[in-house]
């Protein structure tokens, strides 16, 4: 036995321990052999590596196999009360064989810390008492943050009063005998009136109510673990007859004893119930046990999810009351810069990946006519020229056409007015060429967006004239082609500016409306308070709703396309946020999916920076890839959205659940908009981590395979791996390839059997996504 500041450590061989009322908090971990632990309410069968926590004021007894080795660590009530104010109001439900999914890592962490505690005690190296106290405090933090439950009335009782302890021990050991207030008063030399008042004052429970609770707990245990007749159970547990037992039982459990047994019966257990045997245990002093502890210490490395900063949430989902909305996904418009970029092998491979994984539909291009894709004509005396200005264009369009991709062309006012006549002449020739080479349906699937930004000195009449001429040229050649307007829209003022007001006139034709939504637009980055940044959370959804209302007001209800957008990131290269934003991307797209026809992305960092080379900061869009085809968080977020199928049966701010032909899908998110100045402050960001206890009821009973994908800063965040492996001397191809291959969401597979309800825990770091595929097994 060792004691370190009210912490006792004991390695024992236990054959039997007689019933005792536990004082303090006790950890029982089996190193080898087997134990059966009986409490007042149930049985626990412990084998090698199993862990059980016994709470304060809990009656228990133990029976063990020969040559077992059991580590028992006890933390006194005094220590717990001194360091944890809510100790008397809570209990800790922790049995390693019966932990909800998601809490296994916490149990393994406790087991490792207990093993470290015993090793430190054996070694007695410098500072070992401090090390032991550190291990135990970490264990207690895990219990408090992850396994806490409300204590029962009895567990809340202060047992420091010796006489009260003696009375309660007697009642607990003799509950099956005739006991009355009078008989107990006489035994302890008290008057019945004083005992009644004293007992109520000290326990906050009436004497007979307390006695009935003890008897019911033992009766429930007999109902669940034995096949004894109900009448015999009533008499064995101190009830005068079966009728009174049934009445009291139904009042407390809302079921008759017979129904309760039918609904909750457990496997029968070898009963330990021998209340008067002598303790048979001995303390073991053997360093050989360390070999056994290595099987615990050498297990998988687990993350220390015991931070006191994590928020805890409860989420209950009843799938018997479905919403029955279908999942809607907007089409993707992936900007590559100029059309010539499609000739590059790297860009082509990225487009094909996006087509396969995300369902890409449109490839966005700019400067279609004045760009480098169309080669200037060369003078020749050939009757039929052997070169074509559309040589590169055809290679690019052939690739798009063969892979089912269409063009989304942004036409800038400035590009047209560089040489208006030349532009429209070349545009008409280009369309004619395409109609001759490709079937009309391919060209009809294209979109042309007329673009002029919010800040402009161009008069509205001149802008309108240019647009209407563009519209006529396009429709003249391809009547079914889509031609639309980019509408600058102020979120705060809920209107466009005077230069763009003409776009709302009824005589201005448009097949669709394009717009931008960037959370950075509504933030004053001089402020350091985080409250302002939290207000930007619903900005993209709100702007979309306000824009549609504005269009309805002006009778301009057209399909809308989000051509450029961004989550909160910063306003300079020095304040750009580096925190993970995967859940923000997923949530924003999910929220506007029913409102927009397409949503725009940039293909990669290189093309995005090249396009914005004169802007000094990249704010206007989201990229799917980094350099070297490494996938950015937006890519995986959109991949998750594509993978989400079926009908929505439950949805909230940070979760969505669907039912499909294979079973169910559940997405959990931890969405946080934070000040980018704090993006590298780990201490601050850890306060935003979240632990969710999920309970799903009324699932179809049966066997399931569950696939869990975790997408967070450690599983899928390219920049995290890039930072971890970065070097001032640069990186070679091997390092870059490793970063790309390992920056993926993690995947776990496990089997579950559901009987209508499933309960588990998920631990989400900042802006993490946990995606569950819950597939019904074919048996």
CATH of the domain at 166: 2.60.120.10
Q: Is residue 252 part of a domain?
A: no
Cα–Cα dist 332/631, whole Å = 16
Count of domains in the chain? 3
Q: Is residue 639 part of a domain?
A: no
At 549 the pLDDT is: 97
On whether both 187 and 276 belong to a single domain, the answer is yes
Of 615, 634, 653, which residue sits at a domain end?
A: 634
Closest by CA to 704, choosing from 655, 774, 643, 623, is 774
At 587 the pLDDT is: 95
Partners of 488 in beta bridges:
none
On whether both 301 and 434 belong to a single domain, the answer is no
On whether both 143 and 159 belong to a single domain, the answer is yes
> Is 775 within 8 Å of 704 (Cβ atoms)?
yes
On whether both 554 and 681 belong to a single domain, the answer is no
CATH of the domain at 384: 3.20.20.80
328-357: buried (b, 16+ CB within 10 Å) or exposed (e) per residue? ebbbbbbbbbbbbbbeeeebbebbebbbeb
Q: What is the DSSP string of 144-183?
A: HHHSEEEPPTTTTS-TT-HHHHHHHHHHHHSTTS---HHH
At 378 the pLDDT is: 57
Interaxial angle between packed helices 128-146 and 104-123, expressed in degrees from 0 to 180 and rounded to the nearest 10: 160
On whether both 462 and 550 belong to a single domain, the answer is yes
On whether both 484 and 573 belong to a single domain, the answer is yes
Cα–Cα dist 67/152, whole Å = 35
On whether both 737 and 758 belong to a single domain, the answer is yes
CATH of the domain at 742: 2.60.40.1500
On whether both 360 and 321 belong to a single domain, the answer is no
Tokens of 271: 């009963």
Chain segment 519-539, per-residue pLDDT in tens: 877 776 666 555 566 667 788
On whether both 124 and 140 belong to a single domain, the answer is yes
Q: Is residue 247 part of a domain?
A: no
Length of the chain: 779
Q: Is residue 241 part of a domain?
A: no
At 680 the pLDDT is: 53
Q: Is residue 75 part of a domain?
A: yes
Question: What is the extent of the structural domain holding 615?
Answer: 334-634
Cα–Cα dist 368/408, whole Å = 10
Q: Is residue 295 part of a domain?
A: yes
Of 598, 613, 634, which residue sits at a domain end?
A: 634
Only one residue has tokens 């008989």, namely 183
Please return the burial class of 84, using the count of CB atoms within 10 Å of its CB with bins 0-12, 13-18 and 19+: middle
On whether both 37 and 80 belong to a single domain, the answer is yes
Q: Is residue 242 part of a domain?
A: no
Q: Is residue 575 part of a domain?
A: yes
At 227 the pLDDT is: 83
On whether both 319 and 437 belong to a single domain, the answer is no
Tokens of 253: 């459990």
Cα–Cα dist 682/738, whole Å = 25
Q: Which portions of the chain are predicted below pLDDT 70?
A: 1-5, 153-160, 266-288, 290-291, 294, 298-309, 377-387, 524-535, 569-578, 608-620, 675-686
On whether both 273 and 382 belong to a single domain, the answer is no
């Amino acid at each position: 036995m060792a004691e370190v500041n009210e912490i006792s450590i004991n390695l024992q061989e236990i054959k039997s321990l007689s019933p005792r009322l536990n004082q303090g908090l006790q950890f029982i971990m089996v190193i080898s052999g087997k134990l059966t632990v009986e409490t007042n309410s149930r049985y626990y069968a412990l084998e090698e590596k199993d862990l059980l926590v016994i709470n304060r004021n809990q009656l228990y007894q133990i029976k063990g196999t020969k040559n077992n080795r059991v580590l028992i660590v006890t933390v006194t009530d005094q220590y717990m009360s001194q360091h944890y104010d809510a100790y008397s109001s809570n209990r800790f439900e922790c049995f390693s064989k019966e932990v909800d999914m998601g809490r296994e890592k916490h149990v393994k962490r406790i087991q490792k810390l207990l093993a470290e505690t015993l090793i430190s005690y054996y070694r007695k190296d410098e500072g070992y008492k401090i090390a032991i106290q550190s291990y135990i405090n970490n264990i207690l933090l895990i219990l408090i943050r992850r396994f806490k439950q409300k204590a029962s009335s009895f567990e809340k009782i202060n047992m420091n009063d010796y006489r009260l302890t003696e009375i309660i021990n007697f009642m607990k050991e003799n509950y099956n005998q005739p006991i009355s207030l009078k008989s107990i008063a006489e035994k302890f030399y008290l008057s019945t009136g004083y005992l009644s008042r004293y007992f109520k004052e000290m326990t906050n429970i009436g004497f007979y109510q307390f006695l009935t609770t003890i008897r019911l707990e033992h009766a429930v245990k007999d109902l669940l673990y034995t096949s004894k007749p109900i009448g015999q159970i009533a008499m064995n547990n101190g009830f005068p007859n079966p009728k009174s037992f049934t009445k009291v039982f139904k009042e407390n459990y809302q079921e008759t004893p017979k129904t309760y047994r039918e609904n909750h019966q457990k496997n029968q257990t070898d009963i330990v119930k021998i209340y008067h045997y002598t303790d048979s245990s001995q303390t073991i002093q053997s360093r050989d046990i360390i070999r056994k502890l290595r099987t615990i210490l050498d297990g998988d490395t687990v993350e220390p999810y015991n931070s006191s900063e994590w928020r805890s949430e409860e989420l209950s989902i009843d799938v018997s009351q479905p919403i029955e909305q279908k999942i809607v996904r907007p089409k993707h418009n992936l900007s590559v810069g100029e059309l010539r970029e499609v000739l590059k092998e790297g860009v082509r491979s990225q487009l094909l990946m996006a087509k396969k994984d995300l369902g890409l539909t449109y490839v966005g291009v700019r400067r279609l006519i004045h760009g480098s894709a169309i080669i200037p004509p060369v003078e020749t005396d050939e009757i039929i020229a052997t070169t074509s200005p559309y040589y590169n264009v055809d290679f690019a369009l052939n690739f798009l056409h063969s892979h089912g991709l269409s063009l989304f062309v942004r036409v800038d006012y400035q590009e047209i007015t560089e040489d208006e006549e030349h532009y429209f002449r070349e545009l008409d020739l280009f369309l004619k060429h395409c109609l001759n080479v490709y079937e009309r349906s391919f060209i009809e699937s294209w979109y042309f967006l007329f673009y002029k930004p919010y800040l402009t000195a161009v008069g509205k009449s001149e802008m309108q004239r240019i647009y209407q001429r563009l519209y006529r040229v396009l429709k003249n050649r391809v009547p079914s082609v889509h031609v639309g307007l980019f509408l600058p829209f102020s979120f705060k003022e809920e209107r466009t500016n005077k230069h763009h007001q003409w776009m709302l006139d009824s005589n201005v034709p448009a097949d669709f409306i394009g717009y931008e939504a960037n959370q950075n637009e509504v933030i004053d980055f001089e402020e350091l308070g985080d409250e302002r940044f939290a207000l930007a959370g619903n900005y993209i959804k709100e702007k979309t709703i306000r824009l549609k209302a504005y269009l309805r007001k002006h009778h301009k209800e057209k399909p809308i396309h989000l051509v450029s957008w961004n989550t909160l990131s910063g306003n300079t290269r020095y304040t750009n946020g580096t925190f993970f934003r995967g859940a923000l991307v997923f949530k924003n797209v999910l929220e506007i999916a029913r409102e927009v026809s397409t949503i725009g992305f940039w293909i990669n960092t290189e093309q995005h920076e090249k396009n914005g080379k004169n802007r000094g900061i990249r704010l206007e869009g989201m990229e799917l890839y980094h350099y070297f085809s490494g996938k950015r968080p937006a890519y995986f977020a959109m991949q998750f959205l594509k993978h989400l199928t079926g009908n929505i049966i439950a949805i909230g701010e940070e979760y969505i659940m669907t039912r499909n032909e294979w079973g169910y899908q559940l997405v959990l998110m931890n969405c946080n908009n934070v000040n980018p100045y704090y993006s590298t402050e780990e201490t601050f960001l850890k306060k935003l981590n979240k632990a969710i206890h999920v309970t799903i009821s009324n699932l179809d009973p049966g066997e399931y395979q569950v696939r869990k994908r975790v997408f967070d800063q450690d599983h899928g965040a390219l920049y995290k791996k890039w930072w971890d492996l970065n070097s001032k001397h640069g990186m070679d191809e091997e390092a870059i390839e490793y970063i790309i291959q390992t920056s993926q969401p993690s995947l776990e597979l496990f089997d579950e059997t559901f009987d209508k309800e499933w309960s588990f825990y998920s631990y989400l770091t900042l802006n993490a996504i946990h995606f569950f595929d819950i597939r019904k097994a074919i048996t």
